[in-house]
Amino acid sequence: MHPFLQSLIGGALIGVASAGLLLVNGRIAGISGILGNAATLRPGLWRWAFLAGLIGVGVAAGLLGRTAPQALAEADFRLLAVAGLLVGIGTQIGSGCTSGHGVSGLSNLSLRSLAATATFMAVAAATVFFTHHLARAWEP
Amino acid sequence: MKVATSALFGAIFGIGLLISGMLDPANVLGFLDLAGDWNPQLAFVMGGAIAVALPAFQLARKRQQTLAGEPLQLPRRTGLDGRLIGGAAIFGLGWGLAGLCPGPALVAVGFAGPPAYVFAGAMALGTLIARWALKASAAAKSED
């Protein structure tokens, strides 16, 4: 299957899950928000169930033979730790991530989510420009 | 019931992420690398997701309740502020460094081993630190 078609189907499933959680449970499928509220023990077993479903799919994929993509398997642990910390802090301060702002927020026609999505996309692209182009150009 | 449907939607979300290519940082960084060999794949992920979710959100806003008639829990904040933009910028920096955002990181914990544990562990720590700091700053404000 063409990778673009695969991405479109995968995206549509993400949309189905976001639509379902909204229309059936009345909740926003924002992963960082669900994680943050679960981690601070806010009442609501549904959050743990959602996270279990998400991680459970990863476990099932592993049992079916899926392994880490090369770019992740070869990543520097210090870089992963710093990046993970920034993602955790930034998504809580900014009240959302790619799912909450980028999928649900934009689908809800929220100006806040549009501004947040434009900001994290622009900063991420600028970061990649620095690490992939500028920093490499300086290397001896 | 709510717990069962949440688990189901979490699993569907995870399957979508696995199929979409979002779990491979090379795809994510390729999408963000506008000056390099640009890979538009992730635009299809967001396009596919919004194409399905947008009508659902419009329906929910019109009904102002779930299909079963229960209240919606939608964000109430409106207007832009420094906290929103600053937080999004910090997130963007981390996303651009590793090519992983929260959903894919959690799915990867299930199969990708130590690199995923390091990223997701740091992400959980950052989540707790930020929540604690936000709570402390809200408490300090209410004392003024």
Residue B65 — φ and ψ, nearest 5°?
Answer: -160, 170
Nearest residue to A94 (alpha-carbon basis) of B99, B89, B126, B124: B89
Per-residue pLDDT at A1 = 86
Residues 29-88 of B with CB under 8 A from A: 29, 32-36, 40-42, 44-57, 59-61, 65-68, 70-75, 77-80, 83-88
Total Cβ atoms within 10 A of residue B62: 8
> What residue numbers bound the domain in which A53 lies?
3-138
Q: Distance, in angstroms, between A25 CA and closest chain B CA? A: 6
Contact B106 A70 (CB under 8 A): no
Tens digit of each residue's pLDDT (9 = 90 or more) over A21-39: 999 999 999 999 999 999 9
pLDDT band at residue A116, thresholds of 50, 70 and 90? very high
Please report the sign of the dihedral spanned by the C-alpha atoms of residue A68, residue A70, residue A75, residue A80.
Answer: negative
pTM above 0.80, yes or no: yes
pLDDT of residue B12 exceeding 80? yes
Per-residue pLDDT at A140 = 61
pLDDT of residue B144 exceeding 80? no
- A115-119, A132-136, B68-72: range with highest mean pLDDT: A115-119
What is the distance between the alpha carbons of residues B127 and A92, in angstroms, rounded to a whole number?
6
What is the distance between the alpha carbons of residues B98 and A87, in angstroms, rounded to a whole number?
10
Q: What's the rounded mean pLDDT across residues B92-101?
A: 98
**Residue B65, SS3?**
strand
Tokens for A54, please give them.
């998400």
pLDDT band at residue A139, thresholds of 50, 70 and 90? low
Nearest residue on chain A to B131, judged by CA atoms? A92
What is the distance between the alpha carbons of residues A91 and A88, in angstroms, rounded to a whole number?
6
pLDDT of residue B97 exceeding 70? yes
- Preferred mutation among A2, A4, A7 to probe B, highest tally of B CBs within 10 A: A7
Contact B91 A85 (CB under 8 A): no
Q: What is the rounded average pLDDT for all residues in chain A? A: 96
Q: What's the rounded mean pLDDT across residues A53-59?
A: 98
pLDDT of residue A107 exceeding 90? yes
Name the CA radius of gyration of chain B, rounded: 18
Q: What is the DSSP letter of B81?
A: -
What is the distance between the alpha carbons of residues B103 and B17, in angstroms, rounded to a whole number?
8
Q: How many domains does chain A have?
A: 1
pLDDT band at residue B141, thresholds of 50, 70 and 90? confident
What is the distance between the alpha carbons of residues B42 and A124, in angstroms, rounded to a whole number?
14
Per-residue pLDDT at B1 = 77
Per-residue pLDDT at B118 = 98
Residue B71 — φ and ψ, nearest 5°?
Answer: -65, 150
Q: Does any CB of chain A come closer than 8 Å to the CB of residue B91?
A: yes
Helices (H), B21-101: 25-32, 41-63, 82-98
Total Cβ atoms within 10 A of residue A103: 35
